[in-house]
Amino acid sequence: MGLAFLSRTSMHATLGAGPGDRSAMDGPTRDGGGDPVGRAHADKMGDMDIDLGADVVTLTQQLVDISSVSHEEQEIADAVEAALRGLPHLVVTRRGHTIVARTELGRGERVVIAGHLDTVPLNDNLPSRLEGGVLHGLGSCDMKGGDAVMLKLAADVPEPNRDLTFVFYEAEEVDSVHNGLRKLTESDPHLLEADFAILMEPSNAAVEAGCQGTMRVDVRTTGERCHSARSWRGVNAIHLAGPVLARLNDYVAREPEIDGLIYHEGLNATGIRGGVAGNVIPDECVVEVNFRFAPDRSEADAEAFVRDFFEGYDVTVTDIAAGAMPGLDRPAAKQFLEVVGGEVAPKFGWTDVAQFTKLGIPAVNFGPGDPMFAHKQDEHVPIEHIERCERLLKDWLA
């Protein structure tokens, strides 16, 4: 099935008169950030509209068929922005290719629902195809099925029981310096203020709460270089790394309970490098170690643990990202879990829910698709997952 786009006129008819007018799009009152959209940009957005009146599966297919490899999200961001600006109950703000749409109903709680618009590079997996209850195509699982659910909520639930903030962001699949959600936490944290957050990352349409933090360090041993024929004249740094590996082999993982969930930490060597030449005793060896830590540890706590664990060795932190607390004790989270049902699992990997931790917002992962198929050539999402996520979220918010 190819793209099914509406003209500006037909979108206007589908969603009701008024909000689709150019004058509404051009005016500064339609932008929560006070930066009015110029007429040239608004005209460009009109070139490609998304049919918010379509069912959620068709809408997913429309999004999949808009190629949006990281750093090339303008086309899809323009289409999403134009569709959202056609909804009179939302205040829309754009930062780069990240779109934020908020209700302002004065509810007692606010929930952020977020999803990224970009995909990994194409792998002969566009256009999309629908076969036997499964939608195939680049981004179908990670995570345009979730984006489609967000758009349907934005269009079909104009008066939710909680205020909502929808965030469609750019550049999640590349280095974090480009991540649109991370940029918002720094440039416009007020746009993300909330009591609870849901990231629509693929999780088999079930709840995975919070996420663990991740840290990478280099543990370095230093010896003395010499000719291998006279090895006793030097000190072999690779041999000195043996006790480092022994410590890792003896490591006993911590398994803390947080909000009734058991997280399982991990400390593992993921690489080792050293050696100069086949006839030279090496004077340096580096063991690359990855620490996956539970969200009750801060970045500082995690670093202190690792440095203490490798006491006596030169330790260099090369990368670190905090985890995210699940916050299942919050009222919004409790009701969400009651509606969704099923068993809640802890998230052992790292996801962008951790971005909300910086702002003190508990978060969960809840989206259609099996994450095992993300980034694969045969990326796909079961239709049942998309429809289930839409139904449960509407039940929770309506």
For the annotated catalytic residues, the residue numbers are 118, 172
Of 390, 360, 6, the C-alpha closest to 196 is 360
Measured between alpha carbons, how far is 85 from 90 in angstroms, rounded to an integer?
7
> Which H helix or E strand runs over 333?
helix 331-340
Q: 154 CB contacts (<8 Å, ≥6 apart)?
A: 52, 84, 87, 90, 101, 164, 166
- Tell me the DSSP string of 33-71: TS-PPPHHHHHHHTTS---TTS-HHHHHHHHHTS--BTT
Measured between alpha carbons, how far is 76 from 113 in angstroms, rounded to an integer?
18
Measured between alpha carbons, how far is 256 from 254 in angstroms, rounded to an integer?
6
CA 338 vs. chain centroid, Å, equals: 24
Distances (CA, A) of 331 to 196, 389, 394: 9, 20, 17
- Take residue 338 and report the two structure tokens written for it: 């009651």
Measured between alpha carbons, how far is 398 from 393 in angstroms, rounded to an integer?
8
Measured between alpha carbons, how far is 167 from 77 in angstroms, rounded to an integer?
11
Strands (DSSP E) contained in the chain are 91-95, 98-102, 110-116, 129-131, 134-136, 163-169, 196-199, 208-209, 213-222, 226-227, 257-258, 261-262, 266-274, 280-281, 284-293, 314-321, 345-346, 363-365, 380-382
- Take residue 140 and report the two structure tokens written for it: 């179908």
CB 128 within 8 A of CB 58: no
CB 228 within 8 A of CB 281: yes
Distances (CA, A) of 268 to 177, 251, 256, 308: 26, 9, 18, 15
Name the DSSP class of 348: -
CB 147 within 8 A of CB 140: no
